């Protein structure tokens, strides 16, 4: 049976802005197609499960500090899983922890996993509001992604690391270079939440199909009736555009 295994990292710590809704969307879109689905929660000290997709959401700085040592200690195993074909989706605080460090206003530094060559430093103001970006995870398949951002961090990507997309409306990684998020091989990081996937069914399906490929090869997903999701996406896009 075709099935998708998702590891939800730190669901009790990193779940700000209803980011667990991303898991609900993945589960529903698999179920509607008759694809088996397992979401495995992984908290501090738990063994890292074998999964096709690893997901980490956002949290307040204090929550990220609580899991910092545990997550950094998993970096090598996560890298091995990704090299073996698994995907990773990291949102907001989880996105920041993909990088080398997060530096706060007082110079305090939180270590990251170093899975992606990026760094984040707190800025003087928060960047808040609706956002839309153009992205292309698969060559020749452009997507418009919409959602909400709320972050003080200014993220800078290392040389050769491509953003997830280009900002149409909103702030993005740092409000200056026009990029949002990061796409490094099978790793996707983004500040977009609210949560991310309910309003972006095409992105959800792309992640499902790619992650299924780890154990099942190329999988052609049956199309779904996404009229409601499309309306939500278009409404969010219009709001972001002002």
Residues that are catalytic: 92, 193
Q: DSSP assignment of 96-165, as one string?
A: HTTSSEEE-TTS-EEE---SSSEEEEEEEEEEEEEEEEEEEEETTEEEEEEEEEEEEEEEEEPTTPBPSE
Greatest CA separation for the chain: 52
Closest CA to 75 of 61, 56, 92: 56
Closest CA to 112 of 121, 93, 129, 99: 99
The span from the CA of 21 to the CA of 109, in Å, is 29
The span from the CA of 214 to the CA of 101, in Å, is 30
The span from the CA of 27 to the CA of 165, in Å, is 25
The span from the CA of 207 to the CA of 225, in Å, is 18
Residue 146 pairs in a beta bridge with 132
The span from the CA of 137 to the CA of 59, in Å, is 25
Phi-psi region of 45 (alpha: psi -120 to 50; beta: other; left: phi over 0): left
Query: In whole angstroms, what separates CA 164 from the centre of its chain?
Result: 10
């Amino acid at each position: 049976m075709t099935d998708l295994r998702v590891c939800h990292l730190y669901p009790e710590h990193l779940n700000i802005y209803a980011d667990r809704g991303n898991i609900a969307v993945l589960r529903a879109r698999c179920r509607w197609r008759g694809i088996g689905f397992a979401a495995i929660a992984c908290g501090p000290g738990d063994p890292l499960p074998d999964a096709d997709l690893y997901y980490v959401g956002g949290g307040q700085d204090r929550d990220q500090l609580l899991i910092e040592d545990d997550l950094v200690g998993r970096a090598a195993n996560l890298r091995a899983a990704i090299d073996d074909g698994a995907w990773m989706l990291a949102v907001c605080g989880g996105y920041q922890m993909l990088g080398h460090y997060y530096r706060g206003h007082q110079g305090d530094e939180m270590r990251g996993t170093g899975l992606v060559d990026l760094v984040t430093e707190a800025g003087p103001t928060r960047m808040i509001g609706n956002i839309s970006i153009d992205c292309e995870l698969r060559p020749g398949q452009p997507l418009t992604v919409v959602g909400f951002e709320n972050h003080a961090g200014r993220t800078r990507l290392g040389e050769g690391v491509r953003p997830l997309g280009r900002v149409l409306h909103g702030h993005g990684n740092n409000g200056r270079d026009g990029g949002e998020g990061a796409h490094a091989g099978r790793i996707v990081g983004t500040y977009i939440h609210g949560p991310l996937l309910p309003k972006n069914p095409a992105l959800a399906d792309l992640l499902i199909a790619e992650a299924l490929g780890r154990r099942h090869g190329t999988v052609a997903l049956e199309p779904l009736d996404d009229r409601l999701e499309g309306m939500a996406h278009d409404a969010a896009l219009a709001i972001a555009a002002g």
